[in-house]
Chains A and B, each alone.
Chain A
Amino acid sequence: MEQKKENKNSPIARRKFLRVLGTAVAGGSILAVSGVLASRLKNEKEASYYWQIDPQKCTHCGRCETDCVLQVSAVKCFHANKVCGYCDLCGGYFRSNAKELNTAAENLMCPTGAIQRKFVEDPYFEYTIDESLCNGCGKCVKGCSSFGNGSLYLQIKRDLCTDCNECKIARVCPSDAITRVSMDTAYKLKD
């Protein structure tokens, strides 16, 4: 009798029961959480995942160059040709205090010489960005926005960006211009 009673209250049976209970609770919670999340899940195409700069918000503060996790920032200067005025005296190409309007480095805005200029016809010049040289400092963007059409702007190159879960530049961006876009929104362009 005594033996039987002890068996009934034996910790082994209790532990087994608790274990089964634990398994049931764990399995149930997995189902519940995935159910809730799956119901909230938007289409993968709509769910935003890729970091992009909103050119309208960007204040070209220069942190894109310094704060990206990559050694050379994934932010590059983009040029919207259709916005550009093709000026000879380009605010994004020449420094505001340039002594002479020639291609000497001390006259140029871009510290790496990534902006190339090509004569089209009088008085128009075409500007293109050599992406491999651009470091995303945004100096030209500042110049173009303050004296120009604002056709130069900064954007994150999706083939260079590592899609960090939390974009390090977005964290320090003073104007909250960096947000995620969905897979089918390719680039936030200015055209």
Chain B
Amino acid sequence: MEISGAFKNAGKNLKRTGKQIRKNYAAYLFLLPKLILFTLFIAIPVVWAFVLSFQEYRITESNIFAGLDNYKQVLESEAFREALLNTTIYTVVTVPFNVITALIAASLIHSLGRFAQNFFRAAFYLPTVTSMVIIAMVWRWMYNYEFGLFNYVIGWFGMEPINWLGQTNSALMAIIIMQMLIPFGVGIILYLASMSSISESLYEAATIDGANAFQKWVRITIPMLTPSTVYLTLLSTIGSFQVFTQIILMTGGGPGYATETLVHLIYKTGFRDFEFGLAAAQSVVLFLIILVISVFQYRVLNRRN
């Protein structure tokens, strides 16, 4: 009885959806090109990667079904564990730092005049539109042991130069510092836009109640920006788990495996070793990790809201 009811409901829903599509067919037709491209270049590759993760990839023959072998290899792999640890450390340090500094920078910029706001908006957004390849090359020069900027500066304080990218205890830290010092342009722009939509009456009421500027920031601005904070945290976490360009250009994952990250490992497994089945399994595991963390972050941050 219950099942037939469910079928009836599903039938009704389908009918309703069909009716809606017929009614708005012009809008759906306009959406169709995007949908086709999305299907061809996103949906099909994602599904194919999932299927591939259960296969041994062969180039000129049919792939061989491998069951859970690829996943077993991923979980037993020391390199994957190291890459996961490095990527997690990178994410745990850079994401909170970037989101908090973006919030502080946006709050400071928001209180400025229009011209100054525009100037800082552009200045902080500039690194976002600059190629990471260029940024990584400049930073590699800044970390150079013999003539790099960082060793030059610490030399003023009588400190010994550091082999930033050449030692296992400093290489990952150097990559993290680089990411921390690149302004989180998207975050600043989004926070500024959200701040503009906070009602002035809230601040006026707080002023009447005797709140100072810091109290207003903590009690009104930050809570009102929670949706933006959730979005930026998720965005930044997903981006951090996919860190790649700076790794391949600055350290190649070394010294040893000190800066090996998940996407760099997936890239090597796929395009160096041509083990696409294993690389697909690594990608699916990465997808699941990001999914779990994102859902957790969303729930925790939204609960506070």
Partners in one complex: no
The interface of chain B, by Cβ under 8 A from chain A, is none
The interface of chain A, by Cβ under 8 A from chain B, is none
